[in-house]
């Protein structure tokens, strides 16, 4: 008597046999569950560049920026947010990839990022309710609950609770964007289910107060993520990587917890997932910037390492953690703990060639910009403005000083955002 393994079961078994014990150095290769290989264990994690050209497409500045990261030596390069729906963007300079978007600019982007042998994955996202009011965009959410940003709450759109049909549309859009990314030459996609964006909103009992099959129990709240993963996996060939970015916790009282994250990871074990990246927080609780809303103190470096170590112990796929990694010794500690990949974001905006420097024997560090203002929301926005200013300079092939004024950078960013918002609204109205 013979039988045939289902593709999901075969994939899960292969992940056990192919993923090595995580005792090697940061410059050893890593074979993923689908058989593809990362040339080393250092990743350029996603940052929102807000650098789209007209038409919300990647242009020459994005191509130059990613070529700099490719030259810098990371084994995995994950793009900043790419939106699956042009009606809902995290920022007016966001890049959009839909089923009918022209692929040639994306093909040049993938080529620039891959030219030194790194894998390049496109991060796919829907912002849900985290949409700026000035953009006039569409804010779908599991429930019609606005962001609580204190005195800054009015900067965001009042969201609309999604219908079942709209949820199904989002699932199809993730799959269509993933298929388009594969045709453009990307090595894989990362489904963004963290940082308070749409899928993360469904996972959290604070933002998801539905009473139907998409809300209530954790199994229902996780349904959107699991259905998106299945749809994306079905839309692309087996050699195309599918990853998930998941919060280790929301760091809000009553929100998505560490126990929730563990259970969601166990469910992801049964699907064909090649890597899970663990982060944390949201706009309301920016733990990804080292600050929480529930009073918990994160580690000074490698913010989410303790959570990642626990989850890596039960994961069938490699685990990556991002947040607060900027020194070689810290990256080595992350990898020695059983976490497979160390992700760096801001550090690689400051020093895009940091992996190459470490490979050459250096011990350089790249500290994040510090802004110690009383208004913590504005301080976080100013820190982001400093990083985005650095990204734009890299995209222009220019070097940048490390002592830019936070206030002046914020003012520049605000003027630039207004200009991009006007451009986005014209584009959006023309499409409508």
Please state the domain extents for the chain. 7-368
Token pair in block for residue 288: 């990804």
Q: Of 117, 108, 65, 109, give the one whose Cα is nearest residue 352.
A: 65
**Residues 107, 130: Cα–Cα separation, whole Å:** 29
The stretch 224-230 carries a mean pLDDT of 98
pLDDT at residue number 2 = 34
pLDDT tens-place string over residues 46-76: 999 999 999 999 999 999 999 999 999 999 9
Residue 90: CB atoms within 10 Å: 24
Residue 38 pairs in a beta bridge with 30
**Domain covering 7-368, topology:** TIM Barrel (3.20.20)
Whether residue 194 is predicted with pLDDT greater than 60 in this model: the reply is yes
pLDDT at residue number 284 = 53
Listed range (85-94, 103-112, 151-160, 209-218) with the worst mean pLDDT? 151-160
Average pLDDT, the chain: 87
Residue 234: CB atoms within 10 Å: 12
What's the pTM value of the predicted model, to 2 decimals?
Answer: 0.89
pLDDT tens-place string over residues 80-102: 999 999 999 999 999 999 999 99
Residue 343: CB atoms within 10 Å: 27
pLDDT at residue number 24 = 44
pLDDT at residue number 5 = 35
Token pair in block for residue 45: 């994690």
Q: Of 184, 189, 157, 186, give the one whose Cα is nearest residue 173.
A: 189
């Amino acid at each position: 008597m013979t039988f045939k393994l289902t593709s999901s079961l075969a994939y899960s078994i292969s992940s056990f046999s192919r993923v090595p014990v995580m005792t090697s150095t940061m410059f050893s290769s890593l074979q993923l569950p689908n058989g593809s290989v990362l040339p080393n264990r250092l990743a350029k994690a996603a940052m929102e560049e807000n650098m789209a050209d007209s038409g919300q497409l990647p242009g020459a500045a994005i191509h130059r920026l990613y070529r700099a990261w490719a030259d810098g030596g990371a084994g995995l390069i994950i793009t900043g947010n790419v939106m699956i729906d042009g009606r809902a963007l995290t920022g007016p300079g966001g890049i959009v990839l839909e089923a009918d978007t022209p692929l040639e600019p994306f093909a040049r982007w993938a080529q620039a990022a891959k030219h030194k042998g790194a894998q390049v994955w496109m991060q796919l996202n829907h912002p849900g309710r985290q949409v700026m009011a000035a953009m006039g965009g569409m804010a779908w959410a599991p429930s019609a609950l606005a962001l609580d940003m204190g005195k800054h709450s009015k900067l965001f759109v009042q969201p609309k609770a999604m219908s079942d049909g709209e949820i199904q549309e989002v699932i199809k859009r993730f799959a269509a964007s993933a298929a388009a990314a594969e045709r453009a030459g990307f090595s894989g996609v990362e489904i963004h289910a963290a940082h308070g964006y749409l899928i993360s909103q469904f996972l959290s009992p604070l933002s998801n107060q539905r009473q139907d099959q998409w809300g209530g129990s954790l199994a229902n709240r996780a349904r959107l993520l699991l259905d998106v993963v299945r749809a994306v996996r079905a839309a692309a060939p087996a050699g195309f990587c599918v990853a998930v970015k998941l919060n280790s916790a929301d760091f809000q009282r009553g929100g998505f917890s560490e126990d929730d994250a563990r259970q969601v990871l166990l469910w992801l074990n049964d699907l064909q997932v090649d890597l899970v990246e663990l982060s944390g927080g949201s706009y309301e609780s920016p733990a990804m910037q080292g600050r929480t809303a529930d009073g918990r103190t994160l580690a000074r470096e490698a913010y989410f390492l303790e959570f990642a170590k626990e989850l890596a112990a039960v994961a069938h796929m490699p685990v990556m953690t991002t947040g607060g990694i900027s020194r070689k010794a810290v990256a080595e500690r992350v990898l020695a703990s059983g976490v497979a990949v160390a992700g760096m974001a801001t550090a690689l905006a400051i020093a895009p060639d940091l992996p190459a420097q470490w490979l050459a024997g250096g011990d350089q560090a790249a500290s994040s910009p510090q802004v110690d203002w009383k208004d913590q929301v504005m301080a976080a926005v100013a820190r982001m403005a400093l990083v985005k200013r650095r990204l734009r300079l890299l995209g222009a092939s220019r070097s940048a000083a490390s002592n830019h004024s936070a206030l002046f950078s914020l003012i520049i960013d605000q003027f630039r955002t207004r200009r991009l918002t006007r451009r986005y609204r014209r584009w959006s109205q023309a499409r409508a």
